[in-house]
Amino acid sequence: MDHFTSPRNVGEIEDASGVGTVGNAKCGDIMKIFLKIENDTVTDAKFKTFGCGAAVATSSMATELVKGKQVHDVLSVTNKAVMEALDGLPPEKVHCSCLAEEALQAALWDYSQKSNVHIEGLNPPSDTEHELEEDDE
């Protein structure tokens, strides 16, 4: 609840190194994450999210988790890591943590393309929106 009522890192980074935008048509959530990367380290992260409280909270936590990380370590910030850092999410809101992971990866992809940097283990973002089946908790 704390990351919903007092979200951290809300806003934009004007000269962002990478920007990732993802959405889910089923619930209407849209998440945009901005990363500032210097010397292979995430020095700042911000977000703009349109959606429910869980979408705001997962965006806030995801940006907190990546600050100070080396670029290749950002890939370890998965939806499960975000959920654990938030002490869990209701089953019907797990898709919000998946969006946070996808937005981070999309921002990394954007950075890799702009900077011509290869990030081991990073795949191009899919063109399809994420939909989580109920049994994929």
Residues 6+ positions from 41 with CB-CB distance below 8 Å: 68, 69, 70, 71
- Indicate which residue of 31, 96, 98, 107 is catalytic: 96
- Indicate which residue of 13, 19, 22, 27 is catalytic: 27
Quick one: angle between helices 53-66 and 94-115, nearest 10?
40
**Is residue 52 annotated as part of the catalytic site, yes or no?**
no
Beta bridge partners of 36: 44
**Is residue 98 annotated as part of the catalytic site, yes or no?**
no
Which residues are known catalytic residues? Answer: 27, 96
